[in-house]
Amino acid sequence: MSLNRSEKEAVISDVTSLAAKAQTLVLAEYRGITVADMTKLRSEARSKGVNLSVLKNTLARRAVAGSAFEVIGDQMTGPLIYGFSEDAVAAAKVVADFAKTNDKLVIRGGAFGGKALDVNGVKQLASIPSKEVLLAQLLGLMQSPISRTARVLAALAAKRGEGAAAPAADAPAEAEAQPA
């Protein structure tokens, strides 16, 4: 079904706004995927904050012109699904995880930070932990020395407390013995 000019302009403006907010774009060929599998992929993508769209390639090229994703304009051929995400790894992770279980979804490439990514680049990007996991790891690393120091100081205080408790018990006995 053909789009009229105003519909095409609306699609281009929608995709342009997506591209302006997104950090990552992943392209994948979806030829042969069932509707049920595509629905499952879209549902998974939505839950991760990824916008998946099937677009006409000429409209997609026009929409990303002048953006950081313009570098992959030459890869926009054939039946493609476009995955835009504000999180740097979310789109790559969703598409790569789905491609592992469904061999009909073929990753074609992507773009991140103004640089074109090949299939291996998208898979490497997908292997990076999410922002939340990285922040948790960083916090754990920052807390580790502090908690170790606190444990050492607590053990030292406990050891001194045991050693100081014994002379304190002997002191009253010595005090009673001297006046006699």
123-172 residue pLDDT tens: 888 888 877 888 888 888 888 888 888 888 898 889 888 765 555 444 45
pLDDT of residue 175 exceeding 90, the answer is no
Q: Say how many domains are in the chain.
A: 2
81, 140: one domain: no
Contact criterion met (CB below 8 Å) for 75 and 102: no
118, 142: one domain: no
Identify the pLDDT of residue 82: 92
How does DSSP classify residue 167?
Answer: H
- 34-50: average pLDDT: 91
151, 175: one domain: yes
Query: Which of 94, 111, 128 is where one domain is finished?
Result: 128
Amino acid (1-letter code) at residue 94 = V
Mean of the per-residue pLDDT values for the chain? Answer: 84
Instruction: Could you list the beta-strand ranges (E) of the chain.
Output: 24-29, 50-54, 80-85, 106-112, 115-117
134, 76: one domain: no
112, 174: one domain: no
140, 124: one domain: no
Alpha-carbon distance of 115 to 112, in angstroms, equals 5
Identify the pLDDT of residue 39: 92
Identify the pLDDT of residue 26: 93
64, 13: one domain: yes
| Count of C-beta atoms within a 10 Å radius of residue 84 | 25
120, 171: one domain: no
Residue 173 belongs to what domain range?
130-180
Q: Work out the percent of the chain whose per-residue pLDDT is above 70.
A: 89
* pTM given for the model: 0.70
